[in-house]
């Protein structure tokens, strides 16, 4: 049994380490540590774009506040302005407006789906079940997802 626990602990450690990795398209260079106020970041720069990963522990961080701090830290570190910021309080992508260059256009927003719950398949008293969804934007595709059920 202790061998299984050791394997599980190693697997959990490897999965946790994967959380500190930028998008593959922006991982060409080494990370640079930045700080702004209570926030600590890792900056991964690739030309006129950058990924920033917040590494500091902050209780209930506000995405707009973290984005402002990340923007200030990146501008100071790169010497470029920040044209746009997308992301959340954990990971942000920034477009850099560098002197003598045209700022990249922001990425298209992810598609929004409007889903209708078709059926729920769960035995009485179950904690998890299968939920059938019909989502606009995915014509003819029926998606299903395991969802926690309230008791």
pLDDT digits (tens, 9 = 90+) for 34-91: 999 999 999 999 889 999 999 999 999 999 999 999 999 999 999 999 999 999 999 9
> How crowded is the C-beta side of 30, counted as CA atoms within 13 Å?
2
| Structural domain includes residue 75 | yes
- 49 shares a domain with 88: yes
- 71 shares a domain with 27: yes
| Structural domain includes residue 107 | no
Q: Per the structure, how many domains does the chain have?
A: 2
| Structural domain includes residue 105 | no
Range of the domain at 119: 114-148
Token look-up 């830290």 returns: 73
3-state secondary structure of 29: coil
Query: Is the pTM here over 0.85, yes or no?
Result: no
pLDDT in tens, 89-147: 999 999 999 999 888 888 887 667 777 777 777 777 777 777 777 776 555 555 545 55
- 131 shares a domain with 86: no
- 79 shares a domain with 137: no
What's the CA gap between 68 and 90, in Å, rounded?
13
- 54 shares a domain with 91: yes
- 81 shares a domain with 45: yes
- 72 shares a domain with 118: no
| Structural domain includes residue 78 | yes
What's the CA gap between 113 and 107, in Å, rounded?
18
Cβ neighbourhood burial of 116 (10 Å; 0-12, 13-18, 19+): exposed
| Structural domain includes residue 47 | yes
- 88 shares a domain with 125: no
Range 63-98 burial, b when 16+ CB lie within 10 A, else e: eeebbbbbbebbbebbebebbbbebebebbbbbbbe
| Structural domain includes residue 135 | yes
| Structural domain includes residue 131 | yes
Find all residues with CB under 8 Å of 123, minimum gap 6, and list them.
129
């Amino acid at each position: 049994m202790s061998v299984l626990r050791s394997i599980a602990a190693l697997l959990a450690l490897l999965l946790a380490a994967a959380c500190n990795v930028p998008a593959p398209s922006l991982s060409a260079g080494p990370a640079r540590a930045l700080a702004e106020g209570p926030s600590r970041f890792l900056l991964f720069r690739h030309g006129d774009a950058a990924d920033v990963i917040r590494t500091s522990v902050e209780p209930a961080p506000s995405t707009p506040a973290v984005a402002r701090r990340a923007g200030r830290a990146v501008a100071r570190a790169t010497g470029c302005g920040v044209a746009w910021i997308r992301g959340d309080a954990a990971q942000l992508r920034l477009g850099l407006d560098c002197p003598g260059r045209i700022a990249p256009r922001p990425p298209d927003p992810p598609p929004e789906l409007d889903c209708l719950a078709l059926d729920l398949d769960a035995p009485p008293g179950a904690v998890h079940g299968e939920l059938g969804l019909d989502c606009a934007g995915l014509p003819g595709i029926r998606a299903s997802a395991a969802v926690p059920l309230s008791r």
